[in-house]
């Protein structure tokens, strides 16, 4: 048996037994899914993601938060805030979420992601691969988000120190048919988490195997 034959045969043997997506889902007792939180700055996206991560952890489910902290300082540190860069920013995050879906992890994505077309592209990416994309509109009146202004960004935008700020001098295009809408100017955090968990339970994304 020459090396060529040996290599090919080995390849085939192992390939037949390749670990599948279903194997990984079984290992974890959950399905991979992308929860995509979109909304104005200050609408509550990150707060919800942190709370949901904790709730899922209590249920024994593994999730991972993707947000500005680990994305803009990491894989997307070579991107700015031009329209083109914003689109590329969201595209890359969408591709990462898709890899996580395939792995079996539930990602919690908190990004303003103001453009409908960008979000729809991420949705298509997921649907083409048979992955679960759950768009969560974190819907908060601009007036209320601006009143909260947790990072002081609205103040800077109003003073002209930040340009192209979503809701002030750049548009926010609300989702048309999001899977979940949370009116964060009218709900408690606990209510918001309950709504999401109910959705996940009902659609068997999370509470599947165990």
The reply to whether 158 sits near a second copy by the rule CB under 8 A is: no
Q: Which is nearer to a second copy, 105 or 196 (CB)?
A: 105
The residue annotated as part of the active site, out of 63, 97, 110, 113, is: 113
Q: Which is nearer to a second copy, 47 or 132 (CB)?
A: 47
Cα separation values, 100 from 57, 131, 208, Å: 17, 10, 18
Sorted by sequence, the CB contacts under 8 Å of residue 193 that are 6+ apart come out as 48, 51, 52, 55
Q: Which is nearer to a second copy, 6 or 164 (CB)?
A: 6
- Give Cα 189 to chain centroid, integer Å: 18
Out of 102, 120, 170, 173, point to the residue binding a second copy (CB under 8 A): 102
Residues 45/113, Cβ–Cβ less than 8 Å? no
**Rounded-to-integer distance, Cα 85 and Cα 169, Å:** 18
Give min distance, CB of 133 to a second copy, in A.
15
Q: Which of residues 58-77 bind a second copy (CB under 8 A)?
A: 60, 62-64, 66, 70, 74-75
Q: 30, exposed or middle or buried, with CB in 10 Å at 0-12, 13-18, 19+?
A: buried
Task: Write out the H or E segment, with its range, that includes residue 143.
Answer: helix 142-148
Residues 70/109, Cβ–Cβ less than 8 Å? no
Give min distance, CB of 142 to a second copy, in A.
14
Candidate ranges 56-64, 110-118, 174-182, 200-208; the one touching a second copy (CB under 8 A): 56-64
Out of 147, 163, 183, 210, point to the residue binding a second copy (CB under 8 A): 147
Q: Which is nearer to a second copy, 22 or 171 (CB)?
A: 22
DSSP 39-82: --TTSSHHHHHHHHHHHHHHTT--EEEEEHHHIIIIITTT--SS
DSSP 150-175: TTSHHHHHHTTSS-S-BTTTB-----
The reply to whether 179 sits near a second copy by the rule CB under 8 A is: no
41 tagged catalytic: no
Lookup: tokens for 153: 């960004």
Out of 69, 84, 95, 161, point to the residue binding a second copy (CB under 8 A): 95
Out of 67, 72, 92, 207, point to the residue binding a second copy (CB under 8 A): 92
Give min distance, CB of 163 to a second copy, in A.
26
User: Which residues are known to be catalytic?
Assistant: 113
Q: Which residues bind a second copy (CB under 8 A)?
A: 3-4, 7-8, 10-11, 14-15, 17-19, 23-24, 27-28, 44, 47, 50-51, 53-54, 57, 60, 62-64, 66, 70, 74-75, 78, 88, 92, 95-96, 98-100, 102-105, 144, 147-148, 150, 185, 189
């Amino acid at each position: 048996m020459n090396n060529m034959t040996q290599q090919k045969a080995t390849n085939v043997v192992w390939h037949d037994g390749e670990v599948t997506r279903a194997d990984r889902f079984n290992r974890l007792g959950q399905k991979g899914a992308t929860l995509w939180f979109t909304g104005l700055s200050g609408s509550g996206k990150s707060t919800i993601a942190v709370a949901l991560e904790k709730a899922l952890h209590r249920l024994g489910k593994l999730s991972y938060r993707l947000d500005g902290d680990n994305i803009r300082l990491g894989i997307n540190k070579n991107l700015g805030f031009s329209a083109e860069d914003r689109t590329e920013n969201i595209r890359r995050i969408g591709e990462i979420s898709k890899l996580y879906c395939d792995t079996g992890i539930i990602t919690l994505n908190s990004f303003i992601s103001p453009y409908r077309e960008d979000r729809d592209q991420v949705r298509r990416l997921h649907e083409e691969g048979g992955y679960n994309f759950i768009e969560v509109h974190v819907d908060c009146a601009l007036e209320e988000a601006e009143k909260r202004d947790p990072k002081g960004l609205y103040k800077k935008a109003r003073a002209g120190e930040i340009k192209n700020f979503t809701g002030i001098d750049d548009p926010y295009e609300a989702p048309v048919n999001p899977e979940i809408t949370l009116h964060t100017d009218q709900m408690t955090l606990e209510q918001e988490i309950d709504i999401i968990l109910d959705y996940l339970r009902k659609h068997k994304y999370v509470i599947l195997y165990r």
